[in-house]
Structure 1
Amino acid sequence: MAKRNGSSTLSENVTKKLRYDILDGQYEPGAPLTVSELAKGFEVSVAVVREALTRLATQGLVIQNPNHGFSVKTASEEELKSIIEARLINESAALRLSIAHGDLTWESNVIAVHHKLSQTPEYEDGHPKLVVREEWSDIHRQFHYELIAACPNPVLLDICRRLWDLSEFYRHYSPPQQSVRDGRAEHKALADAVVSRDGDRAVEIFKTHIQLTADILFDHR
C-alpha cells in the first residue's frame, strides 16, 4: 500500500508540474511529449509519467494517440470561441447556484482567497515581457473555483474546472502583452457582488470579465 501511495503521490506531482508547464506556454500546441525524456527529466519511472499524461489527457490538455504517443493539445480560434461560450453558460449557472446555496463558511473562504489574490503580485519582476507568476496563477484559479464552490451540482463543477484549464491554455498561449485592464478591480467587484449575494450583478460582472479576457486573446492572436 505504501508503495502504491508513493507512486500515486509522484504521479500527482508530475501531473501538477506538467499541467503548469503546459498552461504556462512552455510547450507549443501540438508538441510531442516523449515519455522516456520526461521520465528522465523528472527522475521518475516511465509508468509515473505515463499515468500523469493520461490524467492530463482526460482534462483535455494532452492528446493521447495510440500510434504516436502523447502530445500537447492543438489550438484553434474556433475552439477558443466555443470554450468562452461554454464558460459563459456553465460558470454563470454555477455561480448563481453557489450564491444561492453558499453558507457563511463559503462566504468567508471567498473573502479570504480574494484577499490573498489582491495582495499577490501578478507578474515576475525584472522580466522584459509580462510573465505571470506561478503563485498568482494558482491563487487566481483558487479564487474562481471558490466563487462556484458552493454549487451543489458536482457535474457542473467538473465541467467548469475543465473549461477553466482549457481557457488558461489559450491565455498563456497568446503572446505576452502589456496589461490593458485593471484585473484587481474586476476581481474585487466580482467578490463584492458574490458576498452581497447579488446573483444578477455577480453574473453580469463575471460575463464582462470573461468576455474582456476573450477580446484581448482574439485581438492578440
Structure 2
Amino acid sequence: MEFFIFSIFCSGDIVVQNLEIFLTNIFISVLHKYILTNFCYFGGILTEKRRTIDKNTRDAVWIKYMGNKVEGKCYCCKIRTIHVMDFQVGHNKAVAKGGNDNISNLRPICGPCNRGMGTKSIEKYREKFGDPHVSKKEPRTSEKKVTKKNLLENLATAKLEKLVRIFDLESKLPVFPNKEDYIKVLSSSRRVTVDGIKNILVI
C-alpha cells in the first residue's frame, strides 16, 4: 500500500501538504525499494533499469538471423556457437545511445561479445574486435591477370635468350642485345603467348 501511495506521489498526482508524514521510516523504506526496483547504479550514474527482452522477441530475432537451425555462430564474432535455447540478444545500436528493442536493432550473439561491446554498435565492435579470422581476401599472384610484358620483365636474361631461340626471333635482335631488346622482340611477336612462355619454362 505504501509503495502504491509513493508511486502516485512520485508521479506528481498528489500534492503533499505535510512532508513530515512522508519523512518516516516507512517512507524511506518504500523509497529504497522503489529505487532498487526501477533504477540501477551504473558507473556512478543512476540509470533506468533495462527492460528484459521477452521470449517472443527473442524467438523472432533467432528466426530472422538463424532460420530454423537449432544452433549457429554468434552474429558478432562468427566464432562461438550459440544455441536456440542459450544465446543473448544484443542491440546493434546500444540502448544508452538511443537504441530500441525493435527486432531490426537486435542480433543473436554470444555472452562474451555482449559483455565486451559495451555501448559500441555490433557492427563497430565487429570491425574493431570481432571476426579476426575473416579478412578481406587478397587475390593470390596466380589469380591476378598476368600480361605477357609483365611475365617477360620478371624473367632472367638467360631465359629470355632461350625464348628468343625457341620462337626463332634472333634475326629481330640488334647485334649486341640487352634485356630490354629481348623483351621488346618477344612482346611484339604474336606467336609468343603467356601460356606458351609458361609451358616452355614450366612456370
Please give the TM-score of this superposition, normalised by the length of structure 2: 0.21
Higher percent of residues as strand: 2
Q: TM-score, normalised by structure 1?
A: 0.20
* Structure of greater Rg: 2
